[in-house]
């Protein structure tokens, strides 16, 4: 069953850096928590983005949260971020907040 075998999903989109000298990934991270597994098992996939947005403690983040972090750190242009945001209207109203993920903690919880 998918809900029992899934551990995590990491998706990325590459964006041009603000100095136009390279690319940087914007990451969306979903960890298969008990809540996520239940949503998959109960075929309520449409509710997963809400869990991602509130799951920062577990190491999850939405694409828009990471885009906001990259903008606030001056690594990408706000316009470029807004163009690929999942929710451009909401992205435009988000306050500058930094979302930091401790990847060693995330990978340790996955036993990788």
pLDDT at 98: 42
Alpha-carbon gap, residue 60 to 33, rounded angstroms: 10
Highest mean pLDDT out of 1-10, 48-57, 78-87, 93-102: 78-87
Alpha-carbon gap, residue 91 to 97, rounded angstroms: 12
Reported pTM: 0.73
**Which residue ranges form the domains of the chain, and what is each CATH number?**
2-102 (3.40.50.300)
pLDDT at 92: 72
Instruction: List, for residues 62-106, the tens digit of each pLDDT value.
Output: 899 899 999 999 999 998 999 999 888 777 766 444 444 555 555
Instruction: List, for residues 15-25, the tens digit of each pLDDT value.
Output: 999 999 999 99
Alpha-carbon gap, residue 108 to 86, rounded angstroms: 28
């Amino acid at each position: 069953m998918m809900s029992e075998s899934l551990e995590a999903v990491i998706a990325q989109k590459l964006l041009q850096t603000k100095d136009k000298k390279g690319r940087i990934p914007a990451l969306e991270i979903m960890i298969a928590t008990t809540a996520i597994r239940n949503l998959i098992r109960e075929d309520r996939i449409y509710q997963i983005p809400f869990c991602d947005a509130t799951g920062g403690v577990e190491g999850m983040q939405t694409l828009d949260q990471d885009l906001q972090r990259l903008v606030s750190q001056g690594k990408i242009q706000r316009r470029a971020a807004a163009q690929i945001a999942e929710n451009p209207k909401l992205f435009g109203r988000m306050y500058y907040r930094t979302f930091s993920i401790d990847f060693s903690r995330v990978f340790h919880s996955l036993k990788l």
